[in-house]
Amino acid sequence: MAESSNAAQRQAAGSIYDLGYRSYEGTRLGRSYAFTSLFMYSFLSVWGIGRSFWAKFFPFALAVIVMLPSIILLAIAALLPAEFEVTQPEEYFGFIAIVLALFCAVAAPELFGRDQRQKTLALYFSRALSRLDYAGAKVGALVLSLFLVLVIPQILLQLGNAVAAEGLTDYLEDNVDLYPPIVASSFLIALFMGCFSLAIAIQTSRRAFATGAIIASFVILTALGGIFVETLDIETGKYALLISPFDVLEGLTVWVFGVEPFEGSWVERADHPGAIYFAVTMVVTAVSLGVILRRILRMSV
Amino acid sequence: MTATVAEAPVTTTDAVSVESISRWYGNVVAVNEISFALGPGITGLLGPNGAGKSTLLHMLAGLLRPSAGRATILGESTWANPKIYKHIGFVPERETVYPFLTGLDFVKLSARMHNLPDVDAAALRAIERVEMTDAMGRATGGYSKGMKQRVKIAAAIVHEPSILLLDEPFNGADPRQRLRMMDMLREMAANGATIVFSSHILEEVERLAENVLVIVSGRLAASGDFHAIRRLMTDRPHSIMLRSSDDRRFASALIGQPAVFGVEIVDGHVVLHTSDLEAFALVAPRIAKEQSVTIYEMAPTDESLESVFSYLVRR
Amino acid sequence: MIGFLLSLTVRQQVLRKSTLLLIGLGLLVVLVAFVYRISDSSMEPDEWTTKVLYGGLVVTAMLPLTALMFGTSVLGDELEDGTAVYLLTKPLPRWQILLPKIVAPWLLTSALVGGAALISGFIAIQDGDTGVVIGAVVGLVAGALAYIALFVLLSLLTNHALIVGLLYVFIWEGALAGVFEGIRYISIRHYTLGLSDAIAGNIPDTFNAYMSGSTALILIAIVTATCVLWANQRLQLIEVRERP
């Protein structure tokens, strides 16, 4: 047997044909393409597109709930203009704050959790994509989603107001100075809530745990802020309000729109200069981003 | 078209039987009208991943409802029938066990839930059987995959069931553990237990199972002893390997025979293709003698479970 | 048997990571009561304890969140991890498996939330009406049972029990109940508050529940019984898939 195999080897000593792995010599689309792809993919996964029915149901249902007041107002404006009361865009956030928090609680764990659970991070990080890009794409996807969920109802609201008013285009033109604040406030709120939620979500790979932690943080911190303002004397208490996410965002919104705080709200009682809310928003966003980046840059895969 | 071999007749009620059992998830049919009856002994469910073996086992274990047909154990339907678990031990594929419990506690939990009169003794016995006495005081969270597997088996046999169902039991077991487990299962089968295990690893099934059920794409492709299955596949020619004192002479004489329709000389031996094994068996020694050739070795090359299996999968 | 499974389940739940956070939450509640105590607030202890501490923090936030974390995971995690198989493939009637899975999280929720409510209540109430504290704790314990029964049922009906539970608590009980009055009859939060009112022996709207104690108790009983019976049905027909 040994002899014949040697003979076989001698006969076969010749060429080896490379029929397997082929290297690619064409154009490579590079880092920006990778980033955009991941961004689009993450954005779609926030909305559950490409996953099961329920993965779509919850984000879309929550988005619809957020838009419901504006849709209803638009309908009333169109059908029963007499009943219509103009709702200012800055009031909108108060209605929907908790729903936005639920949206974050549902979406944020998906963005980081699945990659951690299914251990696909090694795949991402061995590509043209840098870790920074990965973080940016994920954060960007959630912030963009929140932005859309915030800005679309406000647009509808404006339309509603315009329809109920005497001249549609006139109204829209008159109120053109509302548009920058609408966009700015929506963006800042989206930034705050998105980064905050993701900073919490990235701490764990278990989805239920992250969801609970995010919603608990929003709810408890808001409750505490209000309680401390209520309980302590106003001079010290008013600083406690700054730990409450919803109140900070409310304060931010009224500041961006340049209007007075709502009567009877904590924000009114605390009587901070509006810019403080903006500062807190930026600080929280920066710290959250820091937490996210630190985690991602140090993650071992 | 299935080839079945009559099993040895089973006394009284069949231990395990399914009648036209099916299971679908929406449009996907996982198990497609399978019927069989099993008695004491070891049966292997063999099939590629996704063939439906696990689904079938889960239906047998009363954990999934059949979409059609029935699964019965000792004459009783297994679905929504907790009492039947007195006679069944089920070892799932999934690794997770309660990580905070020690191995002993986990087996004792099982014993307690079976209302055994002497929980501690039964648990210890079961643990000894799977050779986990050394590690039984440690929390299962720290066990290796093979250790978890053994403790799962201990929990499943603690009440000495007459039917044992194991889903991919040898996953992650090192060769020594596998041999020990196989010995244990053979012992149980010899004592009258009906054991059904699933695997996609041919060697395991070949080595352990007396009876094989081949499942492909949800259907029962073949059942019985695999040598017998092979012989029933008459639409496929047999390959036989021959080593002799003069291969070339032997081969050229054999090709003249009607029973032989192909001969190959591969290095060191002859591979011969025949459709009629019996006729060939009669003719080969005669030809050898006529040609003054000594036959050193003659063996079928494709009666292994592997070739049977790949044949069935490709059909 | 049930006792044994009960202690097993309690152990299982206590060892979860989220338990630590929930304990932290309880400590936070106590801290808040402390802050009130040492501060110079204009609010009377009675009013503060009922409206702010209980109405604003414990009943509206800590109770449902705690019940959610325990209730959705007690069976939900087992079904997801695959350990449910070890409970289901035993010759036990299903209700014997279900009962510890409801009692254990209920005990834990009651202990955590009730304990926090008790301690913080006594810190805050000072020389006010201690009946308020007792009433709140009793209401909480009863409400916890209803919540747990509901959430355990949810975990048997869907993979997304936590999210559905959150929607129920914060949108249905939270936002909508404020707008539509009738909803309070289908809101465990309101039952809790109503019962607390009755036991505290105060005027009905101390806790703003606008619901009599007997109504609340009956509704809690109905909700709990319905959820437990339905959950038992589901558990008898539960299917365990081979792969998630």
Q: What is the pLDDT of residues A9-35, one digit of tens each?
A: 555 556 666 667 777 788 888 888 889
Alpha helices in chain B (DSSP H): 53-60, 103-113, 119-129, 145-157, 175-190, 202-208, 226-232, 247-254, 277-290, 305-314
Taking CA–CA distances from C15, the nearest residue in chain B reads: B100
Find the radius of gyration of the CA atoms of chain B: 24
Query: Mean pLDDT across the stretch A155-179?
Result: 76
What percent of chain B is modeled with pLDDT above 70?
Answer: 89
Beta bridge partners of B166: B91, B197
Q: Which of the four pLDDT bands, split at 50, 70 and 90, describes residue A292?
A: very high
Whether A105 and chain C come into contact, CB under 8 Å, resolves to yes
* Cα A69 from chain centroid (whole Å): 21
Cβ-proximal residues to A190 (8 Å cutoff; 6+ apart), any chain: A143, A144, A145, A146, A147, A150
Taking CA–CA distances from C84, the nearest residue in chain B reads: B97
Same domain, B222 and B258: no
Q: Which of the four pLDDT bands, split at 50, 70 and 90, describes residue A188?
A: very high
pLDDT score recorded for residue A19: 67
Domain boundary among B200, B230, B260: B230
pLDDT score recorded for residue B40: 92
Closest CB to C82 among B80, B96, B100: B96
Q: Cβ contacts (< 8 Å) between B248 and chain A: which residues?
A: none
Same domain, B46 and B142: yes
Retrieve residue B281's tokens: 């068996």
Alpha helices in chain A (DSSP H): 2-12, 30-46, 53-79, 89-117, 121-125, 131-164, 168-174, 179-201, 207-231, 234-240, 245-257, 266-270, 274-298
Residue A108 scores a pLDDT above 90: yes
Taking CA–CA distances from C124, the nearest residue in chain A reads: A231
Alpha helices in chain C (DSSP H): 2-14, 17-38, 45-47, 63-81, 84-88, 94-109, 115-125, 130-157, 161-166, 177-179, 188-200, 213-236
Distance from CA of A141 to the nearest CA of C (A): 21
Closest CB to C90 among B85, B97, B98: B85
Same domain, B138 and B262: no
To which residue do tokens 């890009």 refer?
A133
pLDDT score recorded for residue B47: 85
β-sheet with B219-224: strand ranges across = B3-4, B219-224, B211-216, B41-46, B194-199, B163-167, B88-91
pLDDT score recorded for residue A14: 66
Q: Cβ contacts (< 8 Å) between C41 and chain A: which residues?
A: 230-233
Inter-chain touch A98–C76, beta carbons under 8 Å = no
Q: What is the pLDDT of residues A33-76, one digit of tens each?
A: 889 999 999 999 999 888 888 889 999 999 999 888 888 888 87
Classify strands B269-274 and B260-266 as parallel, antiparallel or unpaired: antiparallel
The mean predicted confidence, pLDDT, of chain A is 83
Distance CA C115, CA C119 (A): 6
Whether A88 and chain C come into contact, CB under 8 Å, resolves to no
Q: Which of the four pLDDT bands, split at 50, 70 and 90, describes residue A6?
A: low
pLDDT score recorded for residue A78: 76
Same domain, B50 and B191: yes
Query: What ipTM was assigned to the predicted interfaces of this complex?
Result: 0.88
Interfacial A residues in 113-152 facing B (CB < 8 Å):
none
pLDDT score recorded for residue C1: 76
Taking CA–CA distances from B62, the nearest residue in chain C reads: C89
Query: Mean pLDDT across the stretch A151-174?
Result: 78
In a domain? residue B78: yes
Retrieve residue B17's tokens: 């039987």
Q: Are C104 and C13 in contact (CB under 8 A)?
A: yes
In a domain? residue B311: no
In a domain? residue B153: yes
Same domain, B68 and B137: yes
Same domain, B141 and B262: no
Taking CA–CA distances from C38, the nearest residue in chain A reads: A232
Classify A299 in phi/psi space as left (phi over 0), alpha (psi -120 to 50) or beta. Answer: beta
Q: Cβ contacts (< 8 Å) between B267 and chain A: which residues?
A: 1, 4-5, 8
Domain boundary among B230, B259, B292: B230
Same domain, B27 and B143: yes
Closest CB to A232 among C35, C57, C158: C35
**Sign of the torsion formed by the C-alpha atoms of B145, B151, B152 and B153:** positive
Higher-confidence residue of A126 and C93: namely C93
Classify B83 in phi/psi space as left (phi over 0), alpha (psi -120 to 50) or beta. Answer: alpha
Closest CB to C35 among A204, A215, A231: A231
Structural domain boundaries enclosing B32 = 3-230
Inter-chain touch A219–C160, beta carbons under 8 Å = no
Distance CA C133, CA C111 (A): 15
Same domain, B74 and B204: yes
From first CA to last CA, the distance across chain C in angstroms is 29
Whether A99 and chain C come into contact, CB under 8 Å, resolves to yes
pLDDT score recorded for residue C231: 96
Structural domains in chain B (count): 2
pLDDT score recorded for residue C141: 95
Interfacial A residues in 183-212 facing C (CB < 8 Å):
204, 208-209, 211-212
pLDDT score recorded for residue A17: 66
Q: Cβ contacts (< 8 Å) between A106 and chain C: which residues?
A: 163
Distance from CA of C41 to the nearest CA of A (A): 5
DSSP string, B29-52: EEEEEEEEEE-SEEEEEE--TTSS
Considering only CB atoms, which residues of chain B are within 8 Å of chain C? 54-55, 57-58, 61-65, 80, 82-86, 88, 90, 92-94, 96-98, 100, 109-110, 112-115, 155, 167
In a domain? residue B308: no
Inter-chain touch C242–B54, beta carbons under 8 Å = yes
Q: Cβ contacts (< 8 Å) between A216 and chain C: which residues?
A: 21, 25, 61, 65
Same domain, B53 and B171: yes
In a domain? residue B128: yes
Same domain, B94 and B144: yes
Residue A270 scores a pLDDT above 60: yes
Residue A87: closest CA among A150, A169, A156: A156
Same domain, B222 and B254: no
Chosen for mutation from A231, A236, A246 (greatest number of chain C CBs closer than 10 Å) is A231
Interfacial C residues in 37-96 facing A (CB < 8 Å):
39-41, 43, 48, 52-53, 56-57, 60-62, 65, 68-69, 72-73, 76
Same domain, B103 and B198: yes
The segments of chain C whose pLDDT lies below 50 read none
Chosen for mutation from C78, C160, C189 (greatest number of chain A CBs closer than 10 Å) is C160
To which residue do tokens 């409310």 refer?
A250
Q: What is the pLDDT of residues A73-100, one digit of tens each?
A: 888 777 776 666 666 766 777 778 899 9
Domain boundary among B166, B195, B230: B230
Query: Mean pLDDT across the stretch A258-271?
Result: 76
Considering only CB atoms, which residues of chain B are within 8 Å of chain A? 267-268
The segments of chain B whose pLDDT lies below 50 read 1-11
Inter-chain touch C53–A227, beta carbons under 8 Å = yes
